[in-house]
Amino acid sequence: MPIMKYRNILAAALAVSLSTALVVIFSFLLPQHAALIISVYFATVILMSFIVLIISKIYNAAKSSVNTVEFIKIAENLNNEFIMWSDDLKFIRLNKQIRDHLGIDSEQFDGAEMLKKVFALESLDENSIGTLTSGSHHAAFKASDGKIINIAWTTSVFKKFKKRCLYLSTGFNYTEIKKMRVNLASANDFFNSSMELAEIGVIMSTDRKKYAASSETVRMFRLKSNSIDIGEFRSLIHPNDRIQFDSAMNSDEEESSDVKKIDLRIRPVGGISYRWYSFRYKSIKATDNTLPLFGGALLDINEEREKDLLIERLAYTDEVTEIANRNRLLSIGHETYNCSLALGYSYWIIVLDIDRFHIVNDTCGYDNGNYILKNFAHILYKFITPGGFAARISGDNFALVLRDYGDDDLPVRTARAISEEFSKLAVDDFASVSLSCSAGFSKLPDDGNSFLDVMEHAEFALKSGSGQPCAICGYEPSMHDSIIGMTELEKALAVAIKNNELQLFYQPKIDLSTGKIMGVEALIRWIKPDGTIITPDSFVPVAERSRLIGKISEFVLNEGCRQNALWQKMGYPNIVMSINFTSGDFYQNDLKERVLDALLRNDLDSDWLEVELTETLALSDINYAVAQMNKLRELGVKLAMDDFGTGYSSLSYLQILPITLLKLDKSFITNIQNDNIAFEIVSAVISIAKSKKIKTIAEGIENREQEEILRKAGCDYGQGYLYGKPMPAEELEKLFPELS
Ligand code: C2E
Ligand code: MG
Ligand code: MG
């Protein structure tokens, strides 16, 4: 290589040596011309050297200018920015790409100014050139269209001419990338703001050890940085939720690409109270170009969760007794039924009803009523055996579910024991009420196709009981025969009420001393569209078992008052209208208001209204009955004790009950003319009643003989077929002249 490098010098030296040798030879051959030959030689050498130098200079210049030109040609149409420039700024070439930015065509521009502009430099002196060439130089300039162009320049020496230097600056235009970066940054800001607004924290990881936390996650859990160690984060999770969390964090991305969800309690760093978060997580498989990703979103659901818990509690707990309610019973019952089928277990379902609870509630007030319910629930709990449970299913109805171990007497024994225990509460405020319960029971799974089915059968057995306190009745499939009939009748009755098929008939009551009408008893009839008349014995008990009785009683009260007021307006003599009340009507809290309302609405004076109550009804809770009776008496309404002699028949009650009339039951009257005992009883009752200033009336007088005996015995009034059967108002109106 050194030979190649010095080949021109060697050639020149060889040429000089050869020519010098020739000059020396010619000088010896022609000594007379030696001086001329030597002078010409040296002159020629000097001239030739000069020519060679010039040619070589021209050649070299031509050679370098060809490289530069070629290079500029190539760079001209490349998509990058290229500038070739000499440090004296006399040679400046910009390729098309940069010329386009600057909006210049061809050469008509001030190169130096353009360079300063694109390199964003104040001047191009030694210092700034040094900066340009020492590494990459980022510069932004405004393009002709007003857009900012960002270029990263790399400048290097392209060629050196003695002291001058030709530089090549290659640009990388990163304007779009910068925009993307800005967009990305603002997208990140937007993302963080959105997460903050939505109060959603996000954690993401590629290795499942170190997690990147969003700024909202950092805020939520008071984290120190947005890079979290999963072990540290785990320590913030409630110990009971950590297993769930672990299984979520270790879930295999192969398993599913679905978003999964768990609820966790997490506390903030340094905090002690936990809040509920919903963690929705997902794992994303790695691809050729991406790493696997695992992460999720944390949403604070504390309030919702607390509401849910409250709703769940409300939905499944009975508010008064704080034991399970019907919903809870049905849900546990459903599982129990399935379990009994699978394992061959059997259970008893005992449904209990507090006898006459409405009386307790009405006389002792709601607070005391609730107290009784609570205590009943506590008593029930004492009787729960392993595998069993208890619930309040409605008002004063409870259910007890017990495992059956083949003891068929268990339900009856348990119900009795509960009733006995319950009766012990009748002290202090409850001393005047007798506390007991009735029960119906059925067996699971034998007595139905589902838990609800079996329970409804126990409820049905309860309703089918005698209706007497402490009745206990086991379910029998044969009970269905009567339930179907009853339901049909109930439906028909409901339709009848709607269609106004109920009508009041009136039976006269006669003053035995004058033979004149002193009142009527309103007796309800169901008159079917075909004219068939149905008597109350066939439908009143059905109505009493359903809610229909309320509607019937409302109708009787209003219609009785309306009819009596109408007769008075029509000029008939003033008479007393008697209406019959059931236990349900009588023990209503708003009894007084309802009666007053009927009187006012129909403009009837209370003197002309009488309410008939049966003995059994009045004596089922004597204190409350007296209170209710007094309310009616306050209004001025008369009170009759119906069917006297068929119930408890205790004359001592006559001293307590504020009644105005005693109705001797027709069973005493039917054969009074032949039955001495009946006569003695009737006579005794009449004289006692008189001593109490209570009027007496005999029901069922069918002949004059009976009438005569009763008149002689001192009976004030009489009612019976002798004077008239129950009849429609228009018919009675025809009888009025005869009876007045
Ligand atoms: P109650 O209040 O004792 O009515 C008297 C019943 O004796 C009536 O039967 C009446 O028709 C019947 N009766 C009257 N005089 C004689 C007689 O001389 N001989 C015979 N054998 N019977 C006589 P009814 O109308 O069938 O009523 C039966 C029961 O139905 C009533 O007994 C009453 O407890 C109830 N009831 C009737 N109407 C109503 C009502 O509007 N509301 C309520 N809650 N119960 C009613
Ligand atoms: Mg009556
Ligand atoms: Mg009667």
Alpha carbon distance 403, 92 (integer Å): 104
718 CB under 6 A from ligand 1? no
Q: What is the pLDDT of residue 265?
A: 94
How many Å from the N-terminal Cα to the C-terminal Cα in the chain? 161
To test the ligand 1 pocket, which listed residue (527, 580, 642) has its Cβ within 8 A of the most ligand atoms? Answer: 580
Q: What is the pLDDT of residue 406?
A: 93
Q: What is the pLDDT of residue 3?
A: 47
340 CB under 6 A from ligand 1? no
The least confident of 247-256, 294-303, 437-446, 493-502 is: 247-256
700 CB under 6 A from ligand 1? yes
**pLDDT of 559 higher than 70:** yes
Rounded mean pLDDT, 704-714:
97
Alpha carbon distance 227, 235 (integer Å): 16
615 CB under 6 A from ligand 1? no
Alpha carbon distance 395, 463 (integer Å): 15
Specify the residue with its C-alpha closest to ligand 1, atom 17.
Answer: 700
Rounded mean pLDDT, 620-647:
87
pLDDT tens for 307-338 read: 777 777 777 888 889 999 888 899 899 989 98
Atom of ligand 1 nearest to the CA of 719: 15
Q: What is the pLDDT of residue 249?
A: 83
Q: What is the pLDDT of residue 419?
A: 95
Q: What is the pLDDT of residue 1?
A: 42
CB within 8 Å of 523: residues ≥ 6 apart: 504, 505, 506, 507, 536, 580, 726
508 CB under 6 A from ligand 1? no
Please provide the size of the chain in residues. 740
Strand partners, 253: none
Alpha carbon distance 127, 551 (integer Å): 109
721 CB under 6 A from ligand 1? yes
Specify the residue with its C-alpha closest to ligand 1, atom 4.
Answer: 523
CA of 524 to the centre of ligand 3 (A): 13
Structure-model confidence comparison of residues 716 and 100, the more confident one: 716
Q: Angle at CA 278, nearest 5°, toward 274 and 280?
A: 140
**pLDDT of 497 higher than 50:** yes
CA of 642 to the centre of ligand 1 (A): 10
Atom of ligand 1 nearest to the CA of 505: 25
Q: Supply the DSSP string of 446-459, one letter for each residue.
A: TT-SSHHHHHHHHH
Three-state DSSP class for 473?
Answer: strand
Pure H helices in 587-675: 591-602, 615-619, 622-635, 653-656, 666-669
Specify the residue with its C-alpha closest to ligand 1, atom 22.
Answer: 700
Q: What is the pLDDT of residue 53?
A: 65
Nearest ligand by distance to the CA of 549: 1
645 CB under 6 A from ligand 1? no
- Model-level pTM? 0.45
Asked whether 630 and 658 are in contact (CB, 8 A), the reply is yes
Alpha carbon distance 151, 138 (integer Å): 6
Structure-model confidence comparison of residues 708 and 85, the more confident one: 708
Atom of ligand 1 nearest to the CA of 549: 44
Q: What is the pLDDT of residue 253?
A: 59
Specify the residue with its C-alpha closest to ligand 1, atom 8.
Answer: 523
**pLDDT of 2 higher than 50:** no
Q: What is the pLDDT of residue 57?
A: 59
Helix and strand tally (H, E) in the chain?
27, 25
Q: Supply the DSSP string of 42-68, one letter for each residue.
A: HHHHHHHHHHHHHHHHHHHHHHHHHHH
Alpha carbon distance 633, 624 (integer Å): 14
**pLDDT of 624 higher than 90:** no
The least confident of 96-110, 185-199, 698-712 is: 185-199
CA 194 to chain centre: 26
Q: What is the pLDDT of residue 723?
A: 96
706 CB under 6 A from ligand 1? no
At 158, the amino acid letter reads F
**Token pair of 307, please?**
């509401």
Alpha carbon distance 356, 265 (integer Å): 49
CB within 8 Å of 262: residues ≥ 6 apart: 241, 244, 245, 248, 278, 279, 281
Q: What is the pLDDT of residue 66?
A: 45
Atom of ligand 1 nearest to the CA of 665: 3
CA of 667 to the centre of ligand 2 (A): 14
702 CB under 6 A from ligand 1? yes
Structure-model confidence comparison of residues 69 and 730, the more confident one: 730
Atom of ligand 1 nearest to the CA of 663: 3
397 CB under 6 A from ligand 1? no
Determine the longest span between alpha carbons in the chain, in angstroms.
Answer: 209
Atom of ligand 1 nearest to the CA of 523: 38
To test the ligand 1 pocket, which listed residue (506, 699, 717, 725) has its Cβ within 8 A of the most ligand atoms? Answer: 699
To test the ligand 1 pocket, which listed residue (504, 506, 523) has its Cβ within 8 A of the most ligand atoms? Answer: 523
Rounded mean pLDDT, 361-390:
89
Specify the residue with its C-alpha closest to ligand 1, atom 41.
Answer: 524
Q: What is the pLDDT of residue 5?
A: 46
Q: How confident is the model at residue 107 (pLDDT cuts 50, 70, 90)?
A: low
C-alpha radius of gyration, the chain, whole number: 58
CB within 8 Å of 462: residues ≥ 6 apart: 351, 352, 353, 397, 438, 439, 440, 473
Mode of pairing for the β-strands spanning 260-266 and 275-284? antiparallel
Strand partners, 210: 229
Mean pLDDT of the chain, nearest integer: 85
Alpha carbon distance 384, 402 (integer Å): 7
Alpha carbon distance 353, 674 (integer Å): 45
DSSP E strands: which ranges in 457-608?
A: 472-474, 502-511, 516-527, 533-534, 576-580
- DSSP structure class, residue 240: G
Alpha carbon distance 316, 634 (integer Å): 45
**pLDDT of 111 higher than 90:** no
Nearest ligand by distance to the CA of 581: 1
Alpha carbon distance 681, 668 (integer Å): 8
CA of 540 to the centre of ligand 3 (A): 14
CA of 431 to the centre of ligand 2 (A): 32
Atom of ligand 1 nearest to the CA of 722: 18
Structure-model confidence comparison of residues 720 and 317, the more confident one: 720
The least confident of 39-53, 158-172, 540-554, 697-711 is: 39-53
523 CB under 6 A from ligand 1? yes
Alpha carbon distance 496, 492 (integer Å): 6
Specify the residue with its C-alpha closest to ligand 1, atom 42.
Answer: 580
Alpha carbon distance 442, 461 (integer Å): 8
CA of 437 to the centre of ligand 2 (A): 30
703 CB under 6 A from ligand 1? no
CA of 523 to the centre of ligand 1 (A): 6
Asked whether 578 and 662 are in contact (CB, 8 A), the reply is no
Atom of ligand 1 nearest to the CA of 614: 34
pLDDT tens for 5-46 read: 455 566 566 666 666 776 677 667 667 766 776 776 676 667
Strand partners, 507: 521
CA of 699 to the centre of ligand 3 (A): 7
**Token pair of 239, please?**
């110990």
720 CB under 6 A from ligand 1? yes
CA of 515 to the centre of ligand 3 (A): 20
Specify the residue with its C-alpha closest to ligand 1, atom 7.
Answer: 700
Asked whether 727 and 708 are in contact (CB, 8 A), the reply is no
Atom of ligand 1 nearest to the CA of 544: 44
Q: What is the pLDDT of residue 510?
A: 98
pLDDT tens for 123-138 read: 888 888 888 888 788 8
Atom of ligand 1 nearest to the CA of 553: 42
pLDDT tens for 273-293 read: 999 999 998 887 777 766 778
CA of 643 to the centre of ligand 2 (A): 7
Q: What is the pLDDT of residue 647?
A: 62
Q: What is the pLDDT of residue 87?
A: 85
